Structure 1
Amino acid sequence: MSSFLYSLGRRAYAARKTVLVIWLLVLVVTGGAAGLLFKGMDNNVTIPGTEAQNALDRLSVTFPQTSGASAQIIVVAPDDVRAPEVRSEVERTVDELESMDEAASIVSPYNEDLGGSISEDGKAGLIMVQLEGQTMEIGEPTKDHIAGIAADLEQRLPQGSQASHGGPLFAQSFPGLSFVEALGLVIAIVVLMITLGSFLAAGMPLLNALLGVGVSTFLILLATVLGPVTATTPLLSLMLGLAVGIDYALFIVSRHQQELAGGVSAHEAAARATATAGSAVIFAGLTVMIALGGLGVAGIPFLTTMGVAGAVAVGIAVLVSLTLIPALLGFAGERLTPKAPKQGKRARATSGKPPVGDRFFAGWVRAATRFPIVTVLVVVGVLGIATVPAAGLRLALPDAGALAKEDPARVTYDLTAEHFPKGFNGPLIVTGDIVTSEDPLGLMADLKGEIERLPGVADVPMATPNPTADTGIVQVIPEGAPDSEQTKDLVEEIRSLRGHFLDTYGINISVTGFTAIGIDVSDQLGAALLPFGIVVVGLSLVLLTMVFRSIAVPIKATLGYLLSIGASFGIVTLVFQDGWMAELLNVPRTGPVISFMPIVLMGILFGLAMDYEVFLVSRMREEYVHTKDAQAAIHTGFVSSGKVVTAAAVIMFAVFAAFVPDGDANLKPIAMGLAVGVFVDAFIVRMTLVPAVLALLGDKAWWMPRKLDRVLPAFDVEGENLREEIALADWPRPGADDAVACEGLRLDDPSTGAPVYQDVGFLVPRGGVHVVRGRYESAITAVLLTLSGRLQAEQGKLKVLGYVLPARASTVRAKVSYVDAGDGGADAVRAALREKPEVLVLDRTDRISDPGQRLAIRELLTGSRPTVIAGSTGLSDARDVLPATGGATLTELRDDSAAMPGVLSGAIR
């Protein structure tokens, strides 16, 4: 990976104009396509398979007048809405509504038989509007028409009266952006300038992020052609894309400046930065994308769409960072080289004092690790207390009550709650198949009577069969608000009576309506949290074990993530449910939190937490690998990465927090949770708890079972393999073009730790022939498997066809064929040669007993002449199968497993 990214960085730097033009063309093309094909946003939330959704789908066929979008107009009079001057205007408004083409049924507040409602004090009445088609199918002209009719009614009513429109059709507002969100970018610019030291360097991450979110947002708008997309989706994508786009670019630009400061040329520095920081960016991006893709575990279409959109935004941020940033670095050239310190700073430098920033982070890590057990107890205790409120977290879908107080739909919601039972803002519909009933009207009256007597029912204004008398509905007004526990209990109570209604009346009932759908959504999302959490935590353990080659570090990282998530949930509960600082943060109404907040927050914060873990702890691991001093590695790694991790966390916090004060009601709790989660995870968990835990564990933190180390694939986040390739670029000699070059190779037995072979070293030119001979067949096979990229040596230098192993093992395996000649004979060699390998490795040549087979192999090799490495316990056995012309070299493996190089001069005959 690091080698590929190194090459990518060099090419992007060299072809900077082309790269920039390509990305600008992508932006223009996706923007144009989105402008032409955009189908509009849909805030309907549906979950196929739930009782409420299935019942609503059936009603759309059997009773369409009750299944479409609905709205309401509330009329409030200072004395009585039954007054003639008020009633005449209300009836006139009903006639105007009935004249609309989309109207399915309009119920006057004075028509009690059809469910018309007037408050007990007589001061308020509701006009119920039922439209044909679902909410997503109702266009803005129809909504504007209803709003205009309500406004005209208010103008005609007597002085002191009020009319306002609202209901489910107007319950969801389409969010937009405001100046407040831009403040996050302003803070990001300031932090970038402080971190990177120049406006030129600071502008690159910002340009990178803006281009990335532009492309991803246009793709989301374009995706409306394929299916419904909620209005929250592009905002979530924008928020994520900005945060990770700035941070990923920051890591690459910062590493580029470090390379420049070390005296490397700008071109080489850009390539190395892309290879090293870019590897970490890919890992970080993949973790976020996988976690977001995991939102599909819930089985909810709109949530899956949201997760996929967020993953696309992160993926594009990764692609743009790995290609556009090296190109922008090419435009900057040497201008990003850090300036030499001024006189005062130079004096401090010569005095041996580190820079102020390094002293700050050195003091931080010393404070965290001086008494590590105290640090651990304090951090766990504080975050544990912050998690406690999360135990009372309640979930629900937002309704008009979550809108801004001045929004007409919110005004209608509040007026309805003031004059009627709160359940009028979210009535339930009980429906069932009554085709077998001989008295449908009597049956509906009986159902109404039974439901009216249930606790928690405020009113049952309507119970009626459809015109064909095969489906009946009962409208139920709960006493509680739509998002209250009381209403949820009522839904469960009615559903629990299904058996009773079936036995008594022969009708199988279902409960549906906007409120029931919201309850089902919340229940399904709540049920998905545990499996999703298991997936996320399991993924965390596996990925981090691959990265850090450790058991303790992944467990510690995962437990830290759980602390961050718990604290984030706790603060969100305090603010949005309990009202703590709600007014300051412009929370329009406290109550249950939007249903999909926990699962979205868990997915996104998982990826971000792993970002900080990788960028911080990988530096510590790098130092430990080089020095084997666990305590010093903590301090050195922390100081070298603390500045960049701090800048990244501050930028992410600013971007997320900017969406809280004036953001979309659906996005507010998610943005708040992410802002808190980033702050807690970066500064309290990763930069305080992690060093303390590592200090407690010492060398044990980096212990890894040998067998597990061999089984798990390695993820070279810090580009160690690339550094080895660069170090061996001129080894064994400048301009060398050997097929195989090795020195000091050693492989140990994983079960005993004893060396299988050691000190193996030789050179084989391209087209040459080499024999590895020894007493033990297993040692010979191990050497040959190592040379062919199938095994990894414990130590030593090895290049095959110019590729450094084990860094380029996959490339070597594609160019080197390994054949067990003792088992497959000439047929196996012939099959391998069809692949035209550059190097052919023949093992167990001494096992070929048939002279005809030996001759056939020799003729095959003489005709093709690849580089040949043969293994045998006897020289005469190998001689018979090698090419008939040319010289060969020999490596002898002694009985003590030490390698003694030797040479066979001349041709082997």
Structure 2
Amino acid sequence: MASLLYSLGAWCARHAKTVIGLWLVILVGVGALALNVGKGFSTQYDIPGSEYEKVIEYLDKKLPEDSGGTGTLAFKNTAGGSFSQEQQQQITDLLNELENQPAVREVTNPFTAQADLEKATADVAEAEEELQAPEEEIAEGRKQVTEGREELQKQREELQDSYDQLPEQLAEQLKSDPDFVSGIPAIDGARQQLAQAEAQLDASAKELDEAEEQLASGREELALGKRQLKLTEEVSFLSGDTARGAITFTKEPHNLEPAEREAVTEAIEAAKLTDIETYPGVEITQDVSEVVGASEGVGVIVAAIVLFVALGSVVAAGLPLITALIGSGIGLAGIFALTSTVQMTSTDPALALMLGLGLGIDYALLIVHRHRRQMMEGEHLIASIARANGTAGTSVFFAGVINIIGLSALTVTGIPFLSVMGLAAGGTIAVVVAATLMLVPAALKLIGHRVIPKSKLVEVARNEVYDKQDLAIDQANRGWGAFVTNHPWLMIGASVLILAIVAIPAFSLRLGLPMGNSEPRTSDGYKNYQLIAENYGTGFNGPLLSVVELQAGLDETEREEKTLDIAEDYAARADVLTAIPATESADGTVQLLQIIPAHAPDTEATENLVHDLRDGEAALGEKHDVTVVGYAGQTVANIDISDKVAGALPLYLTIVIALSLLLLTMIFRSIWAPVMASAGFLLSVGAAFGAVVAIYQWGWLGPLFGVHDPTAVLSFLPILLIGVLFGLSVDYQIFIVSGMREAWTHGLDSRTSVRLGYRQGGAVVTAAGIIMVSVFAGFIFSGVTMIRPIGFGLAFGVLVDAFLIRTTFIPAVMHLFGKHAWWLPRWMDKIMPDMDVEGAKLEAKLDAHRNGKLEGR
């Protein structure tokens, strides 16, 4: 590989303008393609096959007409008090305008919805009052029928008494033949009167029975109404000077096209409202189009300053920046172009840009640093460029491959959006590595000797040797490397203690996805979240949806009763504010119930509620003879994603550690060096986790980092930190330890090898670490909320890994291990390929060739 890169460097240097022109054409071409075919990024983070996704698929089949997500709208009357009729009409007009948008299915008017609630209350009271009179009338009718039957019985008895007064012979004959006296007017008239009276009483009784049945039906309806009313006691759409409405879209909010979202937000902004502030929810306003902002630019400026200090020349400092921008620009444009066929989240371009810029600058710095040193030693321009590309470039190549492997390993998690994220970032790194290995040699040829600071040009012109081994060793015996090796136990203890203390908060790690309360305080999304939480209840910011399937054959009343039974069971829970029947399928067999948690959607209590509800699905179904299909809603989706990512974390960490041990063993041909490197990596990751939890979950130093409402840590941040820090830690390990190994193989003692290796690689790692921290830190105040903790976590992780692990812990450990640091079993030495990451064989070959030429002279 070193020889191949040597030849590539030489060719690119000789054809510098062609190479640079080719890369610029690629940049413009990919950029044009992205602008023409790119569809934009999504805010959707889902996991096919999760319980939430299964419920959504079920609803798409059973209730396709009700598919689509909801966005909230909050209104505040800045004049104070309730909304006037004029203000109500203005808001109604706005909602009607929104309902006409193609992406909107329907709207919820807060004034109409509140009126419906109040009407339901009034209807129940009126029905109860109306049922009171029929109850009294029926009771009076029953009393009259009873009295009539008693009077009828008396008349029968009187008629019987009149029979008893007849002569004995007639009485006996009447007993045997009741019709014997028929035709006698007096007797027939009495009998007819009795029959008529009995028929009238029977008719009255039947009417009373029918009235009682109607009354019972009315009572049943009233009972159902009262039950529904009780469940909506905690629900309101108006509160003081605020109102809350909603927009139901034809699709999930995260699937809205940018033009559709823009049409909705523009209609809201254009509405003419008097003394009314309108706050659309984050699901409506969330814009992921801004990947790069002013804060990210600050990071690049800091990186430029570091490059100037490290290289001592404006021209030399600008070269790594330009090559990194070209490489990461092509990668970013490629990602945007791929959105035409692959769904990508807003995190994908941000992560790719972070790594593309940071690594692009670091890798170019490594080659430029090597080339400059060789030039100052008297190497000819083209030869020096080719040698630097073959030696330092080999380190760049393997470092890039390791980063790509670490990110591509995200595919083993089985989580699609993480796989796409890893592959997108890995692809960008591949482009950046290619750009570095071709553009840097070409650019170095064009700037020529200007890569060397003016203060050193005189020495070069005099052919003075700038950095012979004796001088290098003398310098290595001074500075930080010497201090660390003179106090190894102190340095190891201090590093481990500091990182262990910082890592303590990691044991409280909770995962989640950002809600409206994570948005900037000045944003509409944040104000919407707070207004709803303060005036209506925090649970209304993240309602749950229960999907229940009833058995077929139930009539409307039976379905309603069963659904209310289930809703009341939900509402009876201490962690539930209320539960309300929402809608049903056309045949009534599928019922949707909205569950309002008692706590905010991002709290541990709500997370436990979702888990408890799922654990109780079978019991609830058995109790009510129904099938509980499952639970949906954005809160449920967030919890499912967090659980899935947390479950994949141990496997991914195991894979990364195994890769780290394997790759570093092959690179350094040692057992203990990779073990210590991996131990240091774990310390860095633990400290990064702890710092993220302390700031974003606990709220420590919150105002400094714009954290006003501490919440759960971004669900995929830990696994992302592991993947990225793995690659970077291996990079820095290669930059530091390869020089130590090179010195050791050249016969120097272990202490001198450690110091000399640190001197050669420490300056590069220090500069590279500062550059990566600056680039990552530029994303801490990104316009996309979920990017912020990623930027902080990566910046902090690189900070501790570069300055507490690679330049402190590792030199101290390597010094204590001495010659045993390079121990490798013979059988492994025989079967293991020689990676020659530093291009030592190439250097030896070139040195021998150059010495031969000199001797020939």
TM category, shorter? 0.7 to 0.9
1:132 is aligned to 2:250: yes
- Any conservation in 1 of the 2:367–2:392 contact (CA below 8 Å)? yes
Between the aligned partners of 1:170 and 1:357, the Cα distance in structure 2 is 60
- Any conservation in 2 of the 1:65–1:105 contact (CA below 8 Å)? no
- Any conservation in 2 of the 1:587–1:661 contact (CA below 8 Å)? no
Deviations 1:14-37 (A, max 9, x none): 121221111111111101111111
In structure 2, the partner of 1:475 is: 594
Structure 1 segments, 4+ long, off by >6 Å, are 113-116, 342-346, 348-358, 730-736
Report the TM-score when normalising by structure 1: 0.76
In structure 2, the partner of 1:775 is: none
**1:96 deviation in Å?**
4.0
Between the aligned partners of 1:178 and 1:668, the Cα distance in structure 2 is 12
Q: Helix, strand or coil for the counterpart of 1:567?
A: helix
1:461 is aligned to 2:580: yes
The amino acid across from 2:721 in the alignment is L
- Any conservation in 2 of the 1:171–1:400 contact (CA below 8 Å)? no
In structure 2, the partner of 1:739 is: none
In structure 1, the partner of 2:29 is: 29
Between the aligned partners of 2:315 and 2:458, the Cα distance in structure 1 is 24
Question: Residue 460 and residue 361 in structure 1: after superposition, are their counterparts in 2 closer, same or farther (change >3 A)?
Answer: farther
1:104 is aligned to 2:97: no
Of 468, 478, 491, the residue aligned with 1:375 is: 491
Q: How does 1:65-84 map to 2 (within 5 A)?
A: 65-77=65-77, 81=82
1:294 is aligned to 2:409: yes
Between the aligned partners of 1:454 and 1:320, the Cα distance in structure 2 is 60
In structure 1, the partner of 2:548 is: 432
In structure 1, the partner of 2:162 is: none
Question: Residue 102 and residue 678 in structure 1: after superposition, are their counterparts in 2 closer, same or farther (change >3 A)?
Answer: closer
Question: Residue 122 and residue 182 in structure 1: after superposition, are their counterparts in 2 closer, same or farther (change >3 A)?
Answer: closer
**1:526 deviation in Å?**
0.7
In structure 2, the partner of 1:696 is: 816
- Any conservation in 1 of the 2:101–2:264 contact (CA below 8 Å)? no
Q: Helix, strand or coil for the counterpart of 1:598?
A: helix
Between the aligned partners of 2:470 and 2:691, the Cα distance in structure 1 is 38
- Any conservation in 2 of the 1:403–1:588 contact (CA below 8 Å)? no
Between the aligned partners of 2:468 and 2:412, the Cα distance in structure 1 is 55
Between the aligned partners of 2:16 and 2:459, the Cα distance in structure 1 is 38
In structure 2, the partner of 1:816 is: none
Deviations 1:636-666 (A, max 9, x none): 1111222122111111111111111344211
1:637 is aligned to 2:757: yes
The amino acid across from 1:175 in the alignment is E
In structure 2, the partner of 1:647 is: 767
- Any conservation in 2 of the 1:102–1:131 contact (CA below 8 Å)? yes
**1:167 deviation in Å?**
5.2
Q: Helix, strand or coil for the counterpart of 1:589?
A: coil
In structure 1, the partner of 2:56 is: 56
- Any conservation in 2 of the 1:293–1:307 contact (CA below 8 Å)? yes
- Any conservation in 2 of the 1:167–1:400 contact (CA below 8 Å)? yes
- Any conservation in 1 of the 2:551–2:626 contact (CA below 8 Å)? no
Show structure 2 runs of 5+ residues with no match.
121-227
In structure 1, the partner of 2:381 is: 266
1:179 is aligned to 2:294: yes
In structure 2, the partner of 1:415 is: 531
The amino acid across from 1:526 in the alignment is A
Of 260, 283, 307, the residue aligned with 1:168 is: 283
Question: Residue 462 and residue 127 in structure 1: after superposition, are their counterparts in 2 closer, same or farther (change >3 A)?
Answer: farther
In structure 1, the partner of 2:520 is: 404
**1:728 deviation in Å?**
5.0
The amino acid across from 1:370 in the alignment is N
**1:306 deviation in Å?**
1.1
Question: Residue 59 and residue 337 in structure 1: after superposition, are their counterparts in 2 closer, same or farther (change >3 A)?
Answer: same
Report the TM-score when normalising by structure 2: 0.80
Of 484, 491, 494, the residue aligned with 2:603 is: 484
Between the aligned partners of 1:65 and 1:491, the Cα distance in structure 2 is 26
Question: Residue 133 and residue 343 in structure 1: after superposition, are their counterparts in 2 closer, same or farther (change >3 A)?
Answer: closer
Question: Residue 351 and residue 218 in structure 1: after superposition, are their counterparts in 2 closer, same or farther (change >3 A)?
Answer: closer
Between the aligned partners of 2:285 and 2:354, the Cα distance in structure 1 is 25
- Any conservation in 2 of the 1:252–1:277 contact (CA below 8 Å)? yes
Question: Residue 446 and residue 36 in structure 1: after superposition, are their counterparts in 2 closer, same or farther (change >3 A)?
Answer: same
In structure 2, the partner of 1:783 is: none
The amino acid across from 1:155 in the alignment is L
Deviations 1:441-478 (A, max 9, x none): 33322221111112211122334312232322111111
Q: Helix, strand or coil for the counterpart of 1:716?
A: coil
Show structure 1 runs of 5+ residues with no match.
737-909
**1:238 deviation in Å?**
1.0
In structure 2, the partner of 1:741 is: none
- Any conservation in 2 of the 1:74–1:124 contact (CA below 8 Å)? yes
- Any conservation in 1 of the 2:563–2:581 contact (CA below 8 Å)? no
**1:337 deviation in Å?**
4.5
**1:594 deviation in Å?**
1.0
Greater Cα offset, 432-441 or 407-416 = 432-441
Q: Helix, strand or coil for the counterpart of 1:682?
A: helix
Between the aligned partners of 1:18 and 1:442, the Cα distance in structure 2 is 79
Percent of aligned positions with the same letter in both sequences?
33
Between the aligned partners of 1:495 and 1:252, the Cα distance in structure 2 is 56
**1:436 deviation in Å?**
2.8
Between the aligned partners of 2:474 and 2:36, the Cα distance in structure 1 is 53
Between the aligned partners of 1:701 and 1:50, the Cα distance in structure 2 is 47
The amino acid across from 1:609 in the alignment is S
Question: Residue 721 and residue 564 in structure 1: after superposition, are their counterparts in 2 closer, same or farther (change >3 A)?
Answer: same
Of 821, 829, 853, the residue aligned with 1:709 is: 829
Between the aligned partners of 2:604 and 2:646, the Cα distance in structure 1 is 15
In structure 2, the partner of 1:393 is: 509
- Any conservation in 2 of the 1:204–1:325 contact (CA below 8 Å)? yes
Between the aligned partners of 1:329 and 1:70, the Cα distance in structure 2 is 56
Between the aligned partners of 1:332 and 1:97, the Cα distance in structure 2 is 59
- Any conservation in 2 of the 1:167–1:425 contact (CA below 8 Å)? no
RMSD: 3.1
The amino acid across from 1:378 in the alignment is A
Greater Cα offset, 364-373 or 433-442 = 433-442
Deviations 1:844-894 (A, max 9, x none): xxxxxxxxxxxxxxxxxxxxxxxxxxxxxxxxxxxxxxxxxxxxxxxxxxx
Deviations 1:87-142 (A, max 9, x none): 55555554444444433333333234798942685554321221112224434454
Greater Cα offset, 418-427 or 580-589 = 580-589
- Any conservation in 2 of the 1:260–1:338 contact (CA below 8 Å)? no
1:539 is aligned to 2:659: yes
In structure 1, the partner of 2:781 is: 661
Of 412, 428, 448, the residue aligned with 1:333 is: 448
**1:440 deviation in Å?**
3.0
**1:676 deviation in Å?**
0.9
Between the aligned partners of 2:286 and 2:450, the Cα distance in structure 1 is 54
In structure 1, the partner of 2:478 is: 362
Question: Residue 97 and residue 640 in structure 1: after superposition, are their counterparts in 2 closer, same or farther (change >3 A)?
Answer: closer
1:42 is aligned to 2:51: no
Q: Helix, strand or coil for the counterpart of 1:474?
A: strand
Deviations 1:674-693 (A, max 9, x none): 11111111111111111111
In structure 2, the partner of 1:792 is: none
**1:434 deviation in Å?**
3.0
The amino acid across from 2:106 in the alignment is S
- Any conservation in 1 of the 2:377–2:467 contact (CA below 8 Å)? no
Based on CA coordinates, which of the two structures has the bigger radius of gyration? 2
Between the aligned partners of 1:698 and 1:570, the Cα distance in structure 2 is 33
Deviations 1:279-318 (A, max 9, x none): 1101111111111111222222222111111101111111
Deviations 1:526-585 (A, max 9, x none): 111100000100000000000111111000000000111111111111111222222122
Greater per-residue helix proportion: 2
Of 773, 785, 796, the residue aligned with 1:676 is: 796
Between the aligned partners of 2:399 and 2:492, the Cα distance in structure 1 is 26
The higher-RCO structure (CA 8 Å, 6+ apart) is: 2
1:627 is aligned to 2:782: no
Q: How does 1:207-226 map to 2 (within 5 A)?
A: 207-226=322-341
The amino acid across from 2:59 in the alignment is L
Between the aligned partners of 2:459 and 2:11, the Cα distance in structure 1 is 40
Q: How does 1:640-789 map to 2 (within 5 A)?
A: 640-727=760-847, 729=849
- Any conservation in 1 of the 2:282–2:526 contact (CA below 8 Å)? no
